């Protein structure tokens, strides 16, 4: 997939601000610091369009990126902040619900997790949450460059069994360092976008 054009359209704090062009969307979720911004930047070949290492506690928004004028990536704020207040968490929950329950353009989601570790409880909760909306979930197991080749299969097994991944969902080993997995990730995304 060649990305000729990628721009951030809006950081939306509420539903009123969502772009209303009827083009398909993929939402990207993941724990804070897992490597989600690096994944987005690698996919769209930009060094720093998606902000890396967004700090917990700052304003929570849905960031809409328009790619090649044809579809949107929607960067969903990271979850699993240990120190976030109850109020912040409730706000986050409301924003997620508003988006995932009602967004007609949404075709699929990508859940970014760390291939080095067993998925956390938060990762499992997010997978179940997305499935509850009947959405296809591509599990992007990133930081592939940080494990030995001999460990790959074991980690892939551990992730798919811990998340209890459904048959229809694909697990994609990925590295933002080396670009490994990028073609597979695009193929999977394009199949959901039906472009």
Question: Where along the sequence are the contacts to ligand GDP (CB under 6 A)?
Answer: 30, 32-38, 52-54, 78, 142-143, 145-146, 175-177
Compute the least distance from the CB of residue 26 to ligand GDP, in Å.
Answer: 16
How would DSSP label each residue in 145-191?
GGS-GGGHHHHHHHHHHHHT--TTPPEEE--TTT-TTHHHHHHHHHH
**Closest CB 31 distance from ligand GDP, rounded Å:** 7
Residue 102 CB, nearest approach to ligand GDP (Å): 25
Using the Cα atoms of residue 97, residue 138, residue 57 and residue 65 in order, give the sign of their dihedral. negative
What is the nearest approach in angstroms of ligand GDP to the Cβ of residue 48? Answer: 10
Q: 16 or 149: whose CB is closer to ligand GDP?
A: 149
Whose Cβ is closer to ligand GDP: residue 53's or residue 153's? 53
Give the nearer residue to ligand GDP in terms of CB position, either 136 or 173: 173
Backbone φ and ψ of 173, nearest 5°: -65, 135
Which of 49, 33, 189, 27 minimizes the C-alpha distance to 113? 33
The answer to whether the beta carbons of residues 115 and 159 sit under 8 Å apart is: yes
Q: Which is nearer to ligand GDP, 31 or 72 (CB)?
A: 31
């Amino acid at each position: 997939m060649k990305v000729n054009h990628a721009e951030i359209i809006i950081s939306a704090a509420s539903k009123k601000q969502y772009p209303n062009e009827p083009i398909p969307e993929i939402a990207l979720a993941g724990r804070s610091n897992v490597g989600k911004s690096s994944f987005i930047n690698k996919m769209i070949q930009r060094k720093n369009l998606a902000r890396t290492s967004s700090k917990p506690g700052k304003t929570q928004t849905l960031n809409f990126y328009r790619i090649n004028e044809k579809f949107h990536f929607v960067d969903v704020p990271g979850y699993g902040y240990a120190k976030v207040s109850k109020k912040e968490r409730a706000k986050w929950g409301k924003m997620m619900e508003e988006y995932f329950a009602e967004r007609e353009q949404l075709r699929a989601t990508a859940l970014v997790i760390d291939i080095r570790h067993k998925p956390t409880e938060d990762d499992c909760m997010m997978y179940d949450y997305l499935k509850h909306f009947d959405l296809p979930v591509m599990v992007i197991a990133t930081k592939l460059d940080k494990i030995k080749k001999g460990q790959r299969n074991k980690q892939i097994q551990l992730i798919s069994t811990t998340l209890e991944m459904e048959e229809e969902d694909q697990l994609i080993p990925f590295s933002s360092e080396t670009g490994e997995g990028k073609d597979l990730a695009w193929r999977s995304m394009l199949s959901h976008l039906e472009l």
